[in-house]
Amino acid sequence: MTAPDAHGTIDAVWRIESPRLIAGLARMTGDVAQAEDLAQDALVAALEQWPSSGVPDNPGAWLMAVGKRRAIDHFRRAATLDRKRAEIGAAAPVDGEDDFAAATEDDVGDDLLRLIFIACHPVLSEEGRVALTLRLLGGLTTEQIARAFLVAEPTVAQRIVRAKRTLSDAHISFELPDASERAARLASVLEVVYLIFNEGYAATAGEDWVRPALCEDALRLGRVLAELTPRDAEVHGLVALMEIQASRLRARVGPAGEPVLLLDQDRGRWDHLLIRRGLAALERAEALAGEPGPYTLQAAIAACHARANKPGETDWVRIAGLYAELSRIAPSPIVELNRAVAVGLAFGPRAGLEIVDALVPEPSLRRYHLLPSVRGDLLAKLGRLDEARAEFERAATLARNERERDLLLRRAAL
């Protein structure tokens, strides 16, 4: 195998195996930062050896065995070998699959769940949670995270270092939270996963309107979480929402990379396999939920679009009702803005404009480009074209994504 081929294979293996590897090593050492260092050591060993020796039949077992050996070396140097050897167990041959199975099989689900709860711990900043999650669970390098979020690589590195230090200083142990904590902690996990997805679905800045790789990372994390917490309705609700929204990715971008809005999309380009997966996940969420939570309600809204073969068949009255319910249980100005769009399409632009006008004084929306964009659209439908033009121009000045800015300027020129 040539070096470039081996490096590509190693990168793919790392993305798949690194969460299990770090989780297993963290259980053994009790330290997430140290577990990642040991996993990185194993990766370096693979980069050095696999191009000449070939990729092992079970690369995960190989990486785990190397990681364990590095851990034992570390504890020997720290003069704690005897105690830690009892916890870790004797190192197995590098090619031994039994070692990997023994280290991870019984507890791999709990290990991954622990790692997810730690990476998304509420004690961390939002930026820290996102960066650490993508690093530990997404298998992304610092450079890849920086490129995805259009920030400097040193900034991402600092966020990751700061997040690890915060976890250490707060003495966050590698344990599953108890039942009283789990709901609050799970909400933080779901928020991080959806933040990652949304940055891929509608990039906040830069030249690209969508970044599918981030959506794929978030979907993978969501699916893993659904397997690990199969009785939680909101986990399935989030997975349903992401599956259905991801089904539109191909149709959201035109031939030149320009944005294509929902009602203008070629629905034949939607991914119907993802839609079916999303609708199945929504059924599970609704069956488990007493009262639907925010993600389940948003998934139900997305399902209304997915079930409409043509834009004119969309059940906007139901969507407006679902947004009203979402606003009741999780009130926010952005939910109200989305409700205004649905109300405008269900009951006419004047009804939608009343809701939007009530949001204009809202401080949190002062720099939010979609407020003047939605207002401009409703004004245009009412024939108030000069006012609509001014709103689209204002929205363009606030938009940070170049593709979205161009779209808004084109709408202002009509």
In DSSP terms, 259 is beta-bridged to 253
Q: What is the pLDDT of residue 101?
A: 44
Residue ranges making up the domain that contains 30: 3-106
Residue 344 lies in a domain: no
Q: What are the backbone angles phi and psi of residue 259, rounded to the nearest 5°?
A: -65, 140
**Ramachandran class of 383: left when φ > 0, alpha when ψ lies in -120 to 50, beta otherwise:** left
Residue 39 lies in a domain: yes
- Listed as own residue / partner, the contacts of 219-226 with beta carbons closer than 8 Å and 24 or more positions apart are 219/243, 219/246, 220/138, 221/116, 221/133, 221/137, 221/138, 221/193, 221/196, 222/193, 222/197, 224/19, 224/112, 224/116, 224/137, 225/113, 225/116, 225/189, 225/190, 225/193, 226/281
Assess contact for 247 and 271: CB atoms under 8 A: yes
Assess contact for 203 and 211: CB atoms under 8 A: yes
Cα–Cα distance for residue pair 360/367, rounded to 1 Å: 11
Q: Which residue has the tokens 């207002």?
A: 375
Please, what sign has the CA dihedral across residues 344, 329, 126, 222? negative
Query: pLDDT tens digits, the chain, 414 residues: what are they?
Result: 565 566 778 877 887 788 888 888 888 887 888 888 888 888 888 888 888 888 888 888 888 888 888 887 777 766 555 555 556 655 444 444 444 444 444 455 678 888 888 999 989 999 999 999 988 888 888 888 887 787 899 999 999 999 999 998 998 888 888 877 887 789 889 999 998 999 889 888 778 888 898 899 899 999 999 998 899 999 999 999 999 999 999 999 999 889 999 999 999 999 999 999 999 999 999 999 889 999 999 999 999 999 999 999 999 999 999 999 999 999 999 999 999 999 999 999 999 999 999 999 999 999 999 999 999 999 999 999 999 999 999 999 999 899 999 999 999 997
pLDDT tens for each residue of 334-374 = 999 999 999 999 999 999 999 999 999 999 999 999 999 99
- CB-based contacts of 378: which residues, under 8 Å, 6+ apart? 340, 344, 349, 352, 353, 356
pLDDT tens for each residue of 191-210 = 999 989 998 898 887 788 88
Cα atoms in the 13 Å half-sphere on the side-chain side of 177: 20
Residue 50 lies in a domain: yes
Q: What are the backbone angles phi and psi of residue 403, rounded to the nearest 5°?
A: -65, -40
Cα–Cα distance for residue pair 309/301, rounded to 1 Å: 15
Residue 131 lies in a domain: no
Residue 128 lies in a domain: no
Assess contact for 187 and 382: CB atoms under 8 A: no
Residue 121 lies in a domain: no
Assess contact for 83 and 100: CB atoms under 8 A: no
334 Cα distance to chain centroid: 19
Residue 385 lies in a domain: no
Please count the structural domains in the chain. Answer: 1
Question: Would you call 209 exposed, middle or buried from its count of C-beta atoms within 10 A (0-12, 13-18, 19+)?
Answer: buried
> What pTM did the predictor assign?
0.80
Residue 133 lies in a domain: no
Which 3 state secondary structure label does DSSP give 206?
strand
Q: Which of 271, 274, 298 is nearest to 285 (CA)?
A: 298
